[in-house]
Amino acid sequence: MGYCCKQYAEQNKKKTVTLIFKRAELIYDISNYSFVEADILPQEQEHAKHQVFDIAQDGNVDRVTRVLNLVHAECVELLYPYAKEEIPDTEEVLDDILKEPEEYKIRLSLPYTFSMTTVRMLEHFIHEFLVCRILADWMSITLPTSAGRWEAKANDLKDKIRSSLLSRTDKVKRKLKPW
């Protein structure tokens, strides 16, 4: 095989990585941040405190689940070049029935030269993005003055996810001309 063909074959090699985000871990982090938000509120805002605290309580967690499902889908779309799925040959039925998956998975088909350190960083960025987007949504309902901070954090993480996908994955090639 010639150099050109070998180089082409190496460029088209793919590795598969599955990122798994446990629902319980996400809810735990969301609850902790929500607790801190409520705890720092002044004593005279007792009703607002109660609303912010109760993010993971019955009924409220349904809202969290719907937004979490939406944000997970947004993450998959954000990672589109590496996470795209083909539509199956059989009919796919989608409905709006509330689903509470134990795990949120993102399957990535990455170039052979993609760095594992970047994948690990993506995992952390995505986890935090999911948490911040949930908190931004919840705070927009219960504590609007705090929602902007969480939205800004989520947007910053979204930018970091995008930029980490654009980082160099190939070897640097330099011309040998000295002039």
pLDDT single digits (tens) 112-157: 889 999 999 999 999 999 999 999 999 999 999 999 999 999 999 9
User: Over 90: is that where the pLDDT of 24 sits?
Assistant: yes
> 146, 37 in Cβ contact below 8 A?
yes
- Name residue 103's beta-bridge partners: 22
Chain length of the chain: 179
**Which stretch of DSSP H or E encloses residue 177?**
none
CA distance 51 to 54: 5
Percent of the chain with pLDDT over 90: 60
Residue 92: its pLDDT value, please?
82
Q: 8: exposed, middle or buried (C-beta count within 10 Å: 0-12, 13-18, 19+)?
A: exposed
The model's pLDDT over 27-50, given as tens digits with 9 standing for 90+, comes to 999 999 999 999 888 887 787 787
| pLDDT of res. 128 | 98
| Of residues 74 and 56, more confidently modeled | 74
Give percent above pLDDT 70 in the chain.
87
Helix (H/G/I), strand (E/B), else coil: 2 = coil
